Amino acid sequence: MGPKGIFRKARKEKRNVLTVSEALEVIKKYEIPVAEYKLVKKVEDAIEFANKIGYPVVLKVVSPQLIHKIDVGGVFLDIESKSELQEAFRQAENNLRKIPNVSIHGFLVQKMISDGVEMIIGGKHDQQFGPFILTGMGGVLVEVYEDLSIRFPPITKEDALEMLKELKGYKILKGYRGRPLADLDELSGIIVKLGELMLKEKAIREIDVNPVIVLHKGASAVDARIVLEG
């Protein structure tokens, strides 16, 4: 299903916030690399997929109502075995029973990516100025540092690299204190692609791809949130 089909499905269900699995599907259509994942309903399917991609994995609750999944016990990181995955699945189901009026679309099993630099890449449609793109240090740090750079698309790779150089956290990407140099070419390419997405998909009010985990070679989005207009 393409982005417009995903948007129609959400609107038919009277919601303007996509689930994480829907949001990841949208950005994949624009060739933004995403850590391998699968939406499952049953623990048996979760185990089968984890065996296929290899441990460690991440388990996430998929619900349009849950924006901060970690805060409600809906995210389990660094799961290293079948028994740990079974226990995480059980805990997630127990945690969800404590939350009223939440619709659950399933559980996302995803390849665990670690040791990279976490970045945020986002976009928003402003009523006065049109779409803009932002980037900064990601994960939980985005709310701590408030270190962001903004541009209006279309964006070239050179524009994207300039955005990164404007960040206080740029020295981390450049290999601060013995860290490996992050793949700036791949990261800047993702920024360019998100600019293309925001120009084309006018139904999107705002998007956050957070975090994008940038390694010495390559980068992968592991979570995303999309809010539709209207």
| pLDDT tens per residue across span 22-52 | 999 999 999 999 999 999 999 999 999 999 9
Q: How far apart are CA 92 and CA 75, in angstroms?
A: 8
Whether the per-residue pLDDT at 145 is higher than 80: the answer is no
Tokens of 195: 């600019």
Return the number of other C-beta atoms located less than 10 Å from residue 205's C-beta: 17
Confidence band of 141 (pLDDT split at 50, 70, 90): low
Tens digit of pLDDT for each residue in 163-221? 999 999 999 999 988 888 999 999 999 999 999 999 999 999 999 999 999 999 999 99
d(CA 108, CA 34): 13
Q: What is d(CA 230, CA 22) in angstroms, rounded to the nearest whole number?
A: 18
Side chain identity at 48, as an amino acid letter?
E
Q: Which residue has the higher pLDDT, 73 or 134?
A: 134
pLDDT value of residue 15: 93
pLDDT of residue 210: 94
Digit-coded pLDDT (tens) for 84-129: 999 999 999 988 888 877 888 999 999 999 889 999 999 999 989 9
Of the candidates 140, 191, 201, 144, which has an alpha carbon nearest to the alpha carbon of residue 165? 191
pLDDT at position 140? 67
Average pLDDT value for residue range 127-156: 88
- Please, what are the domains in the chain? 36-111 (3.30.1490.20), 117-228 (3.30.470.20)
What would the pLDDT profile of 46-79 be if each residue is shown by its tens digit?
Answer: 999 999 999 999 999 998 877 667 767 789 999 9
Q: Are 124 and 131 in contact (CB under 8 A)?
A: yes
- 82 has a pLDDT exceeding 80: yes
* pLDDT reported for residue 42: 96
pLDDT at residue number 176: 82
Q: How many CA atoms are closer than 13 Å to the CA of 43, on its beta-carbon side?
A: 13
What is the residue type of 42? K
